[in-house]
Amino acid sequence: MVQSALYEEIDNLYAETVERRRFLHQHPEVSFHETKTARYISDFYEDLGIPYRNNVGGNGVLATLKGGKPGKTIALRADFDALPIQDEKEVPYKSTVPGVMHACGHDGHTAALLSIAKAAKKFQEDIPGTIVFIHQHAEELVPGGAKPMIDAGTLEDVDAVFGTHLWATEPLGKIQTTPGPFMAGADRFTITVRGKGGHGGYPHETKDALVIGAQVVMELQQIISRKLNPLYTAVITVGQFNAGQAFNIIAETAKITGTVRYLRKSAQEMIITNIKRFLDGAAKMHDVEIDLDYGKGYPPLTNHVEEAHLALDACKHVPGVTNVEVCEPSMAGEDFAYYMKEKPGTYFFTGAAPETIYPHHHPKFDIDERALLIAAKSLIACFFAYQEKHEN
């Protein structure tokens, strides 16, 4: 059976897969600047003799392997951008680029997908249908790489799309996903309070932007606790508050930056409406100007129910998988959401926790590289499960 043969070949390629992942880890590039990484991926497909396109929607790479047997066209996606974080790990494959590292596992996603391509090429004549390999740039930075790649025709003639994220906070062998809403929509906002500065000893002659800003931060939380249906899920997080220049000067301006996470569009709309309403009221009450710059980011990632169950069932039989479960939705964002708006499919987590766990986007982030095998085989399992379910 070709599926079992592909599993075996993935095992045979393990050392190569780790080597590729470590090379990418040592040479990271941030979103929208991944030119060398894209060239590395393109050269790989050139050497394999698999047709590909580069510069797809930016730095994206798209490769297509047509199997020797009839079947559906299924896309598998991996992202390949890094983050502006200094790598603090003391390992031989530590990032060589100051201030840039793969702190989210995208190097592993890419290495796993390349190994699937190499294994599939070996058994091309026995594979049903077509595999489309989506190597996507710029997942980490809005507006992201998914939408421009889709606009460039990435999903033309594709019947379904699957993807996985190495999840370093879950143990090796675990597969997780959720039918329906799986990952949050992720927006960003900046609130600027423009008051009147002055002497710290004469507050009555000023309009203290710092104090007003502090009230804004606290009141924002009441939108969640008092305006949002408690059966819905949403978060307002303030990550930055900048105000003031000295201990004895009352601040003239305050800048508040944060994120809104949500699973339902109605929750997003309610939050935006109430932020605007509250800020208008605060500006009038304190006789100051308050500006809101609200940027809508990635929409919620909503898995297709049928394909999510298909993935859960398929992954149960993958070598190395010990636990498959339906999990609670994650409040992290992912531009894989755009693929789910266009085609059937699902996105799932592959457990990759190393011995010492650091969260995603941490300077000491790392993965258990054995998860590369499970990720690759799980995507293969989804490919064949979909083919079998939709045989003519």
Catalytic residues: 81, 139
Strand segments (E) across the chain: 52-56, 60-66, 69-79, 128-136, 160-167, 174-177, 180-183, 185-194, 198-199, 234-243, 249-250, 253-262, 289-298, 301-303, 323-326, 345-351
Distances, alpha carbon 262 to alpha carbons 184, 186, 234, 296, in Å: 5, 7, 4, 11
Measuring CA to CA, which residue among 234, 271, 241, 243 is closest to residue 258? 241
Q: What is the Cα–Cα distance from 256 to 241, expressed in whole angstroms?
A: 5
3-state secondary structure of 39: helix
Dump the DSSP string for 315-354: HTTSTT--EEEE-PPBSS--TTHHHHHHSSEEEEEEE---
Residues facing residue 292 across a β-bridge: 191
